[in-house]
Structure 1
Amino acid sequence: MPHRLLTLALPCALALAACERQPEPPPPAPAASSSAPVLTRQSIDSAGFEAAPASGSQARSAGLARAQVLLDRARFSPGVVDGLGGENTRQAILAFQEANELNATGELDQATFDRLVSGDGQPALTDHTLTAEDLAGPFVDAIPEDMEGKAELETLAYTSPQEALAERFHMDQDFLTELNPNARFVAGETITVAAVSPQELPEAVARIEIDKADKSLRAFAENGDLLAYYPASIGSAEMPSLSGEMTVRAVAPHPNYTYDPSRLTNAEGDETLIIQPGPNNPVGAVWIDLSKDTYGIHGTPEPSEIGKTFSSGCVRLTNWNARQLANSVEPGVEVVFL
């Protein structure tokens, strides 16, 4: 049976300013090809091995989309399922290859694809029938860019049912829309989504290793078995992440965020602000507090940027990976920075 977490309450205003996102300028995206095929449920579920798209390609690959879902279910998270790949998918493939004694290149090859499929013969996509709860919100029209604007909101909720559903099923929002081109997103309607891993790991986490060079987090069981691999944003040159050993102190679902400009190198203004909870909060949907004040493992409002941006010392995961980890840890779990 999955391990159940006993959550400890944290003070209302968490001092989390050390975790403000530090952007790394992305390269300009190439124009999408008008001849790129539109992926369908049938093309993905029946896909065989395909070479990964060229770096920077905007053409989705059915075979890669299937492989991403299978990696997610094997708990080697590629981050966002989008059929495009990228560094997070490459790192997940590399970790899977190493764990399965395959040729460890980080590239999706026939042997790796075959191992993924042989270990999990279930379809990559599934049906989800929309409920009134899926569509009830609360939703906000938009998330302000500046901290003062964020502080004025009563909740940092999702901006639409589509954003909420994409995150629930670990998907890029555009990919969700592409798979459901005629969807109206109304109650009772059935849509196609990725059939991803559950919200809990199969065993309790006894040890967490954070690899700063690899930009990853690994969770281990008591017997040393690898339970999960997640891509992560970890520290920056100006504010490097922690080193050495510490422990989990507490877990806080739906945390608020204290924006303290005195702790930041690229601060906006000089006023301390409280940002209310919500999945689009700067620290996302969950906070795993570490035994060094103001540092933790947490979610993000921008899952596609994991591994592509820096943090101010904390460890940032996608909201779904942070939730999965938080649901399987307790205070006292060892955390080691490598």
Structure 2
Amino acid sequence: MKLFGCVVLSVVGLTSVAAASETLTLDAVNSAGPSERVEKGVSPVLIKAQVLLDRARFSPGVIDGLNGENLQNAIKAFEKVKGLKVDDELDDEVWTKLSEGSSDPALVEYAISEDDVRGPFTFIPDKMEDQAKLDRLSYSSPQELLAEKFHMDIDLLKELNPGKRFDAAGTSIVVANVAHGPKDDEKDKEKLAKIEVVKSEKVLRALAKDGSIIAVYPASIGSEEKPAPSGTHEVRAIAPNPTYTYNPDYAFKGVKVKEKFVIKPGPNNPVGSTWIDLSVESFGIHGTPEPEKVGKAYSNGCVRLTNWDVEALAKMVRKGTPVEFLD
């Protein structure tokens, strides 16, 4: 199918970096709880909260250990669904409800596999015209592949694994424990009845027939040049590994080509690893090569999620699923 349309660690000096590394350990994160102090910058408490929210399908976006807007929105959505006071605070009640969902540790050790390092890996140029010359927009490195596989920010992956090589199979590294089981995916597919895209909150909600929330994902929604639509539409098709076709009528900033061109598939494609086509010409729900910007920057008119969130959503939706855009 051809498609049309569409976290920096703050540390000061070497002492701060060393101090951060000392506190960011597997044990420190797994033992964190409501009594733990939330540190400035990357915090073990926030890493654990992000992992637990991700597993509960209240996605914080990229797991980076930072107290950003996506995390706050995820906590508020979780509080609302669980009938708690909505104040985006990680208090005892929130921790209790999060812990009820799973007793598995937030961080685990993982042995890098041959598939993780096999590649091929590709240097991705900034200009879309140059991207169109590539045979595939693969991951740029094993680090990027592993970070996306475990829903993590690359800087956090490095911080949790000081001195480790990410290009050697068999190397044991610490990663976020975010896996969802196939049975959970099937159960959610049976329940999903509707999608809501809430522009003001920069989130996408997956709803069951009774109106209960199945999942919440942070989203970049539209732009000034190409605002997202309003009203109710529906899913027309689902395309894994999509190509991307640029139309010069879009006049994206920095693109000077006056003719249409096609960018090949891959996780670093402009629309990421998955495209969910909507019954609005040139609009869809899709992934991104820049997961750290989801919920924080405009998309090129569509609804942009992280690759892992749109892949999870694609397993739940079917042709004809209604999608309502709320202003």
TM-score computed with the length of structure 1 as normaliser: 0.87
Percent sequence identity is 50
Q: In 1, Cα distance between the equivalents of 2:10 and 2:154?
A: 19
> Given the alignment of the two structures, is residue 290 of structure 1 paired with residue 275 of structure 2, yes or no?
no
Q: In 2, Cα distance between the equivalents of 1:156 and 1:107?
A: 39
What whole-Å deviation, never above 9, does each CA across 1:254-288 have from its counterpart, x for those lacking one? 00111112123535112322111110110000000
Matches within 5 A, 1:226-265: 226-265=213-252
Gaps (5+ residues) in structure 2? none
Counterpart code for 1:143: I
Residue number among 294, 303, 321 corresponding to 2:291 in the alignment: 303
Q: In 2, Cα distance between the equivalents of 1:102 and 1:237?
A: 35
CA drift of 1:85 comes to: 2.3
Larger deviation, residues 67-76 vs 199-208: 199-208
Q: In 2, Cα distance between the equivalents of 1:51 and 1:99?
A: 26
Residue 5 (structure 1) aligns with = none
RMSD of Structure 2 on Structure 1 (CA)? 1.9
> Given the alignment of the two structures, is residue 221 of structure 1 paired with residue 211 of structure 2, yes or no?
no
Contact 2:51 2:178 in 1 (8 A): yes
Secondary structure of the corresponding residue to residue 320 of structure 1: helix
Residue 48 (structure 2) aligns with = 66
Residue 37 (structure 1) aligns with = 20
Secondary structure of the corresponding residue to residue 327 of structure 1: helix
Contact 1:45 1:66 in 2 (8 A): yes
Secondary structure of the corresponding residue to residue 324 of structure 1: helix
Contact 2:225 2:301 in 1 (8 A): no
The answer to which structure has the higher helix fraction is 2
Residue 181 (structure 1) aligns with = 162
Q: In 1, Cα distance between the equivalents of 2:91 and 2:317?
A: 34
Matches within 5 A, 1:25-174: 30-32=10-12, 34-35=15-16, 36-38=19-21, 39-49=24-34, 50=36, 52-53=38-39, 57=40, 59-140=41-122, 142-174=123-155
Distance 1:70 1:234, change over 3 A: same
Residue 7 (structure 1) aligns with = none
CA drift of 1:183 comes to: 2.0
Distance 1:145 1:199, change over 3 A: farther
How many residue pairs were aligned? 313
CA drift of 1:239 comes to: 2.0
Residue 308 (structure 2) aligns with = 320
Larger deviation, residues 285-294 vs 222-231: 222-231
What whole-Å deviation, never above 9, does each CA across 1:128-176 have from its counterpart, x for those lacking one? 2222111111211x21111121111111110111100100100001111
Gaps (5+ residues) in structure 1? 1-9, 20-25
Secondary structure of the corresponding residue to residue 188 of structure 2: coil
Contact 1:243 1:336 in 2 (8 A): yes
CA drift of 1:334 comes to: 0.8
Secondary structure of the corresponding residue to residue 310 of structure 1: coil
Q: In 1, Cα distance between the equivalents of 2:235 and 2:221?
A: 17
Contact 2:9 2:155 in 1 (8 A): no
Distance 1:143 1:168, change over 3 A: same
